[in-house]
Structure 1
Amino acid sequence: MAVRRDGSLMRDKAQSFRGSRIVIAIVVGVLLGCVFALLYPHGFLSSDPLVQNRRIGNSDLQSSSSQCEPPERINMLRFDIGALSDKNAELKKQIQDLTEKLRLAEQGKDHANEQFSVLSKPHKAGPFGTVKGLRTNPTVSPDESVNPRLAKILEEVAVHRELIVALANSHVKPMLEVWFTSIKKAGIANYLVVALDNQIEEFCKANGVPVYRRDPDEGVDSIAKTGGNHAVSGLKFRILREFLQLGYGVLLSDVDIVYLQNPFNHLYRDSDVESMTDGHNNMTAYGYNDVFDEPSMGWARYAHTMRIWVYNSGFFYIRPTLPAIELLDRVAGRLSREKAWDQAVFNEELYFPSHPGYDGLHAAKRTMDFYLFMNSKVLFKTVRKDANLKKLKPVILHVNYHPDKLPRMKAIVEFYVNGKQDALEPFPDGSDWQS
């Protein structure tokens, strides 16, 4: 019995000792918790951003107080900010340009869809007098691989993918100066001189005139540098092709022209070619029924013919369409094989219909208002002698009918720009020069 009591006593002591250890552990844990609570009131690994920011801020403050930024670093930061501002402005301009291109592309797409809709399925004709055929060909897809250097220049110069283009070599330098001075005076920004020699290129650069110098081209360059007006005039059809392939509408201009208004405000753009005329009144400019009389035919002596005076190949607007490019190819091809006047070939390819052995060009054309886009015959034979017509302000004046071009160009500037009322009087209607 004594042995049992001693064993029971030992078990009681052991249990009492274990209980004491548990109590001690609990007490120690509570004490440690109090200590950490005092030292880290927001927790040992606090996720509170305010506390973290405060710690970081104190650290930054200490760092900044220990070491200030040098002036060089501040200047670099200012330079970087300025560069970023310029980049931002450039990006805004690019966005605007892309928006404009998208708008034009949408217009072209709508027109192409309209044409496809018209041509892809048969349509019923509407009521009498309401039927309208499709008049305007869609533009070609721009191909910048044709001439990347020219494409970059045109992006900077053109407005709404249109511009005035003139070819010039040193032979026409005095007239070229009157030409671009009148363009600047009229407030026209989208124009470009295709320089055919180094002297004209430098002359344009010295006068702030947009200029494009073509890459060397054997054969073509010899014509460009030494050729007269007609030789250079024939060359332009080859050069003009690249502009159309790049997707730009071109107002091709000779340099014997004085600009008084912006011509782009007076174009219809509903045809492949829109040209000024050599006609001098409504009949000759816009066409008329001319009766040919052959008395030997008796009853059938009178034959009716349709007549129109030719388009002037020194001033015309041409859209970037397939028929327009085909026209340039046809004219340039014939001029390379034949000894012919470029203006005659230009009109023949535009007007001659298809017939046995010949496929005519299917191109839409429009004649410009001959009082707005005026030739020098209209001016010196008619307008200057009529008090009412003298009050009109043409868009351009082309001194195409007279060989004394430079003095007449200067007189036109004096009359229409400087208001000298008798500036045109000293000149005869025509000239004593004979071809």
Structure 2
Amino acid sequence: MVGRRDALLTRDKAQSSVESRIVAAVVVGVLIGCVFAFLSPNGLFTAAPTTLIRHPKTVSSACESPEQVNALKVDILSAKEKNSELKKQVKDLMEKLRLAEQGKGHAQEQFLVLGERHKAGPFGTVKALRTNPPVIPDESVNPRLAKILGEVAIYKEIIVALANSNVKEMLQLWFTNIKKAGIPNYLVVALDDNIEEFCKSNDVPVYRRDPDQGVDAVGKIGGNHAVSGLKFRVLREFLQLGYSVLLSDVDIVYLQNPFDYLYRDSDVESMSDGHNNMTAYGYNDVFDEPSMGWARYAHTMRIWVYNSGFFYIRPTIPSIELLDRVANRLSNDPKAWDQAVFNEELFFPSHPGYEGLHAAKRTMDMYLFMNSKVLFKTVRKDAKLKKLKPVIIHVNYHPNKFERMKAIVEFYANGKQDALDHFPDGSD
């Protein structure tokens, strides 16, 4: 029995060994087949060998199970969706960046204007903020002008006058007295070649604008009113470059440096066409309408207009908006008077259908910044007022400007006491 059992065991072992070899051979064969299938998916004996291309999206290993292939497909689909979502996010971000850049300037302006908030102090101590902050200078607007202003302006301030050949005599008297008063920071905007050469020959700082079709035609051949309208468009670049401008017509005699007498607490600081305290600085004018009976008296607030031929304007957002508004209205209505438009935009309040300009303004001292009505109607006839020395005198009320300008120089600069006597109060 024992021998038989040993024989059976020996036979089983041999059979098991054979089966193990068979299994091993099969496994080896399968592995070799997998290797060849991976390396040569088109077979070993093909008529024309092809380039081996493997891509996870289309070809899988012969050893990969269907579950693995399906998992890869799911991963690829998920990657596609994520890629599409990322592209969308990038596109959205680019659009937001574009909008942010577009609104960057406005945001900076709003931030500067709003500033930090303040608490109200005790009764009687509260003072409103009167001075708007200046804009951020942008030299890219006009690099050539920026270079000139950098050489001529003092503390970012400059006197500017526009001139063509029609006012050559007055211009010479204008800059001659500016030099006598010791004012270095002034500039002539030449509207034609003749004035440019004239200024250079007299050592006067000059800026010749680049050709501007239509606008330059007005500047070259236009009269006083046409040139006055042009100045609002020209001044915009000065303000964008960050400079405060004392705009001056050429029918003005300078006796002192005006920059020593400015307050600089408003967007616009202008001389007045008023001829006394009431008309220059404002008054309560009572309108009488008897038919209204008990309510016959209506109180009105009045002030004589600012003179658009002499005003100081700071580089603020309200100031630039003022220039834009006036220039736009004048371009759309050639018959409009620039001084009337200037005052309407500066003073008219917001009301239904109209948004008023939110600009701070100051009226200059009428005896320091004097118009010719004040001079010829009042000052020259008053012994005390005659002793005052104005900063400037603007011959705005009279047509014979050049003759009166020369007489003003004789009276105030050369001491000739009767130089003004032979002129009438008004026009001849």
TM-score band w.r.t. shorter chain: 0.7 to 0.9
Q: Is the 8 A contact 1:165 1:251 kept in 2?
A: yes
Please give the alpha-carbon distance, in whole angstroms, between the structure 2 residues aligned to 1:352 and 1:133. Answer: 21
* Residue of structure 2 in register with 1:271 after alignment: 266
One-letter code of the match for 2:247?
A: L
SS at match of 1:247: coil
Please give the alpha-carbon distance, in whole angstroms, between the structure 2 residues aligned to 1:194 and 1:114. Answer: 31
* Residue of structure 2 in register with 1:293 after alignment: 288
Match among 359, 366, 371 for residue 370 of structure 1: 366
Please give the alpha-carbon distance, in whole angstroms, between the structure 2 residues aligned to 1:135 and 1:368. Answer: 16
SS at match of 1:236: helix
Please give the alpha-carbon distance, in whole angstroms, between the structure 1 residues aligned to 2:206 and 2:158. Answer: 12
The structure that has the greater radius of gyration is 2
Q: Is the 8 A contact 1:115 1:134 kept in 2?
A: no
* Residue of structure 2 in register with 1:117 after alignment: 116
* Residue of structure 1 in register with 2:326 after alignment: 331
Once the two structures are TM-superposed, the CA of residue 115 in structure 1 deviates from its matched residue by 5.5
One-letter code of the match for 2:408?
A: I
* Residue of structure 2 in register with 1:425 after alignment: 421
Moved over 4 A (4+): 112-115
In 2 relative to 1, CA 340–181 (structure 1 residues): closer, same or farther, beyond 3 Å? same
* Residue of structure 1 in register with 2:384 after alignment: 388
Once the two structures are TM-superposed, the CA of residue 242 in structure 1 deviates from its matched residue by 0.2
Match among 171, 177, 201 for residue 176 of structure 1: 171
* Residue of structure 1 in register with 2:375 after alignment: 379
SS at match of 1:187: coil
SS at match of 1:336: helix
Q: Which runs of 5+ in 2 are unaligned?
A: 1-107
Once the two structures are TM-superposed, the CA of residue 113 in structure 1 deviates from its matched residue by 7.3
* Residue of structure 2 in register with 1:347 after alignment: 343
- Post-superposition CA distance 1:217-248 (Å, at most 9, x none): 10001100110000000000000000000000
Match among 208, 216, 221 for residue 211 of structure 2: 216
Once the two structures are TM-superposed, the CA of residue 208 in structure 1 deviates from its matched residue by 0.5
Match among 172, 178, 189 for residue 194 of structure 1: 189
User: 1:35-434 residue pairs with structure 2 within 5 A?
Assistant: 116-118=115-117, 123-338=118-333, 339-432=335-428
Matched positions, count: 318
Q: Is the 8 A contact 2:113 2:133 kept in 1?
A: no
One-letter code of the match for 2:155?
A: H
SS at match of 1:194: strand
- Post-superposition CA distance 1:355-413 (Å, at most 9, x none): 00000000000000000000000000000000000000000000000000000000000
User: 1:28-39 residue pairs with structure 2 within 5 A?
Assistant: none
- Post-superposition CA distance 1:6-52 (Å, at most 9, x none): xxxxxxxxxxxxxxxxxxxxxxxxxxxxxxxxxxxxxxxxxxxxxxx
One-letter code of the match for 2:316?
A: T
One-letter code of the match for 1:422?
A: D
Please give the alpha-carbon distance, in whole angstroms, between the structure 2 residues aligned to 1:374 and 1:347. Answer: 18
Please give the alpha-carbon distance, in whole angstroms, between the structure 2 residues aligned to 1:360 and 1:158. Answer: 32
Please give the alpha-carbon distance, in whole angstroms, between the structure 1 residues aligned to 2:120 and 2:215. Answer: 51
Please give the alpha-carbon distance, in whole angstroms, between the structure 2 residues aligned to 1:418 and 1:294. Answer: 53
Please give the alpha-carbon distance, in whole angstroms, between the structure 1 residues aligned to 2:113 and 2:267. Answer: 17
Once the two structures are TM-superposed, the CA of residue 133 in structure 1 deviates from its matched residue by 1.0
Once the two structures are TM-superposed, the CA of residue 146 in structure 1 deviates from its matched residue by 0.3
Identity %: 84
One-letter code of the match for 2:331?
A: S
Task: State the Cα RMSD in Å.
Answer: 1.2
In 2 relative to 1, CA 113–324 (structure 1 residues): closer, same or farther, beyond 3 Å? closer
Q: Is the 8 A contact 2:112 2:133 kept in 1?
A: no
Q: Which runs of 5+ in 1 are unaligned?
A: 1-108
Please give the alpha-carbon distance, in whole angstroms, between the structure 1 residues aligned to 2:174 and 2:183. Answer: 12
One-letter code of the match for 1:285?
A: A
Please give the alpha-carbon distance, in whole angstroms, between the structure 2 residues aligned to 1:293 and 1:166. Answer: 44
Please give the alpha-carbon distance, in whole angstroms, between the structure 1 residues aligned to 2:112 and 2:208. Answer: 38
Please give the alpha-carbon distance, in whole angstroms, between the structure 2 residues aligned to 1:261 and 1:362. Answer: 32
Please give the alpha-carbon distance, in whole angstroms, between the structure 1 residues aligned to 2:112 and 2:299. Answer: 41
Once the two structures are TM-superposed, the CA of residue 125 in structure 1 deviates from its matched residue by 2.2
